[in-house]
Amino acid sequence: MSDERINIPYKGTPEQESQLAELLDDYKGTKSPLIPVLEQAQEIFGYLPEKVLKTISEELRISLAKIYGVVTFYSFFSLYPKGKYNISVCLGTACYVKGSGQVYEKLQEVLGIAGGQCTADGKFSLEACRCVGACGLAPVMTVNGEVHGRLTANMVEDILAQYE
């Protein structure tokens, strides 16, 4: 996996870089540093850029493959920056059988991005999720946590327009 999936380039500031260096100094040589370091690195950068994961790998002497394994296992971690509006389409069973897959495809087409990416202007990011507890409104998507239900693919553009 690489940042080629992401069309917003890494833009770590010197302050963020020095916070990361301090963080790694604090945890070097400690037992099981990986998860706390990843959590705090995500707080610093807002997500976990590949460049940051490489630095963590080198400094803590943990293989990049192991780090990616941890990052992709826990849904809390994100490998890409979120847009101003983060769209999450529920692909849980109740939503999927009612057509959330078509809604997800339509969003990818309209936004010109794949799931897990952010538009070049930083406005919208798109992801799939599991049940958000609103099955009665299936199929469902959320935009920054705001629920939109009983969706059809034809409704997607009008909903996006509300966030222009």
Contacting residues toward ligand FES, per CB under 6 A: 90, 92-95, 131-135, 138, 140
Taking alpha carbons only, the member of 154, 123, 129 closest to residue 141 is 129
Shortest separation between residue 91's beta carbon and ligand FES, angstroms: 8
- Cβ-contact 85, 47 below 8 angstroms: no
d(CA 56, CA 65): 12
Q: What is the dihedral of CA 106, 112, 115, 119, to 10 degrees?
A: -130
> What residues form DSSP beta bridges with 148?
141
Q: What is the phi/psi pair of residue 30, to 5°?
A: -85, 165
Shortest Å distance, C-beta 75 to ligand FES = 15
Write down the least CB distance from residue 97 to ligand FES, Å.
Answer: 9
Our CB check for ligand FES shows the closer of 62 and 135 to be: 135
- Kindly state the smallest distance separating residue 98's Cβ from ligand FES, in Å: 9
Q: Nearer to ligand FES by C-beta: 44 or 128? A: 128
Residue nearest to ligand FES (CB): 92
Of the pair 8, 89, the CB lying nearest ligand FES is at 89
Q: Which residue lies nearer to ligand FES by CB, 42 or 88? A: 88
Amino acid at 106: K
At 26, the amino acid letter reads: D
